[in-house]
A and B are shown apart, each in its own frame.
Chain A
């Protein structure tokens, strides 16, 4: 190989390694990019963790929307978890409070986090929660049980096409990661 070819090779290879390193970074850049896209499109009904202010909306009496509540436990989270109200007919703009029951089945302290998910995903931005056990980590003493309220309103700007909203909560056991 002549020197000039060697030089050309070195230059090209350097550039290509930079591209490869850049693509490794791009993989990580997809993480915030995905969050932004989810925010814009309402994809997956992703939880934003926002506490809504209690502001007055005009109440739309003529419209009924069904709200369903689903509860799940992740993997082997040792809890009892259920919605006291399974289904509710609501008017957009009016405030409601529903209760959830959760109980620690163990003799140890449990640190848990509930993650909400909306279906259809696009309704997430119209569903405002003033109070929710999902805003913070929930700590349960051994065998403790709690009745946890969720206060919410559905923005009357919700498009007419949505007749049913399903809100699913999943409890995750975070005890191990929190203790460390």
Chain B
């Protein structure tokens, strides 16, 4: 992408980017940092994906094939940590960096230097995490939840994994603070809060979630660290502690954390669908309130991850009903997206295809979530492949699909080149079909009783596992098409000249489409006076 911005250097004789590699290291430009985040996230998507391929290869047949059980467990753990903290979260931060200033008419993020620092701390954190793979005793293998006492049996890797969580946490907190400051203080005067695009709204709420939860997680892992090395007994029953306490603290962080990954997804979907439906978004303000409600509810439902660890009946009932309540604001959102498409002049370009698939498949993931919210039923689903199927439906064909959609949607804006629509559609159909071959059978496996996080299984699970693995391999391979398209588009794509608004009438939907494609290195140095109001 460097070539793209370089073309525009001559417009800005004084404040152009630094030359060569130094530009990327010292940059404080929101577009450069956005690009860094997105490229890093894409790389981690393939690293985490490669780990998933190891898992699916081992599970292709019953029996032990390729890896040792300990390494298998490291793979499930690292796959989760890399995908959550290395791929999905940074990808959304990248989108926020690129798009939020352009969407609210700001010249840059509020704290450009902090912005650079949070990116490089992310790289440091993930590198530290990755280094545990080659350590004595192997990478953490306790699952991404890092439950004690199991996690305390990790070898030399434990303190490294914990410090990595600290770095990732600090990076996220700084990123979140930056986003809040940008949204509150940097908006163009005409951009009132209730005129902000939904992507900005969802990110603002997500940023508050991050500030509230990342420090709690950092605290929990610090307690693990002191339990292991400094003889505290937070979670050690022998010293009067309680391992269940860790689960409460972890899920106090963990439940809002999964919404950190889904709320910006909602924001992007609410941005893309109206453009291709050629209608304003249905129920703008209800979308804002629904997002805020989901964020609030996420703090008071954590123990639904713990229905089996022992709770008084009243606790089980409370967490069950509170969890089911989340279906209401989420239902409002799904209704609004559907209503936006209703009687619209729909066209099905790749970003729209991914967005529609998101609405359908995310709803399925939501319904299985509702099933597990029912405490007595959850006794059967708990820690089986059913939960694996559930959260992968809410993450892969939801967050990941929407990130793909965002890529296709904004790449022409970022680069000034059109991507190859034919390959894009091929990527979509391969992904949409294979993701279901991959994850749908896991529902059956879970209901039949296959536990999660095991490298070997009873033979009655063989058939569905093989089908799931085949789906996994197709899905994994299909993503290489996306990589190809991204590289190809940066290099010039189809050669078709894209207009400023790229998509028909997109300039009615957001400020970013009023800028040239690609946008110059510095945009909105003077705030825009008129803002599009089509998203009402």
B177 and A30 contact, CB distance less than 8 A: no
Is A174 in contact with B238, judged by CB distance below 8 angstroms? yes
| Any A CB within 8 A of the CB of B212 | yes
Question: Contacts of A38 on B, CB cut-off 8 Å?
Answer: 242
A157, CB-defined interface residue at 8 Å: no
Number of B residues with CB within 8 Å of any CB on chain A: 40
Whether the Cβ atoms of A177 and B110 lie closer than 8 Å is no
Do the beta carbons of B215 and A27 come within 8 Å of each other? yes
Q: Complex formed: what's the CA distance from A107 to B149 in Å?
A: 27
Choose from B107, B173, B177, B245 the contact partner of A31 (Cβ within 8 Å): B245
Contact status A27-B237, CB under 8 Å: no
Q: Known: A20-B211, A46-B242. Is A180-B231 also a contact (CB below 8 A)?
A: yes
Cβ contacts under 8 Å, A22 to chain B: 215
List the A side residues contacting B242 at CB < 8 Å.
Answer: 34, 38, 44, 46
Known: A23-B215, A31-B234, A180-B231. A9 touches B310 (CB 8 A): no
20 contacts between A and B (CB under 8 A): A5-B110, A13-B110, A16-B177, A17-B177, A19-B211, A23-B213, A23-B216, A24-B216, A27-B252, A31-B223, A31-B234, A31-B245, A34-B245, A38-B242, A46-B242, A47-B240, A74-B237, A172-B238, A174-B238, A177-B239
Q: Please, how many residues of chain A have a CB less than 8 angstroms from a CB on the other chain?
A: 41
Contacts of A133 in B (CB 8 A): none
A51 in contact (CB, < 8 A): no
Q: Which of A1, A27, A47, A122 contacts B312 (CB 8 A)?
A: A122
Known A12-B184, A44-B244, A177-B231; judge A24-B238 contact (CB<8 A): no
Convert B245-275 into 0s and 1s, putting 1 for each residue whose CB lies closer than 8 angstroms to a CB of A. 1001100100000000000000000000000
Does the CB pair B185–A8 fall under 8 Å?
yes
User: Which 7 residue pairs of A and B lie closest in terms of their CB atoms, listed nearest first?
Assistant: A27-B219, A172-B238, A24-B215, A23-B215, A27-B216, A16-B177, A115-B237
Any A CB within 8 A of the CB of B186: yes
- Inter-chain contact B185/A30, CB cutoff 8 Å: no
- From B173, B214, B238, B315, residue with most partner A Cβ within 10 Å: B238
Whole-angstrom distance between the Cβ of B323 and the nearest chain A Cβ: 19
Let me know if A113 is at the binding interface, CB within 8 A.
yes
Question: Smallest distance from the beta carbon of B516 to chain A beta carbons, Å?
Answer: 23
- Known A13-B177, A16-B177, A19-B211; contact A30-B249, beta-carbon cutoff 8 A: yes
* Chain A contacts with B in 30-58, Cβ cutoff 8 A: 30-31, 34, 38, 41-44, 46-47, 49
Enumerate chain B residues within 8 angstroms of A26, measured Cβ to Cβ. 215-216, 219
Contacts A28-B219, A34-B248 given; does A170 touch B184 at CB 8 Å:
no
Chain B nearest CB: distance from A99 CB in Å? 23
**Told that A26-B216, A44-B244 touch, could you supply 5 new A-B pairs with CB distance under 8 A?**
A12-B181, A16-B177, A17-B177, A31-B245, A41-B312
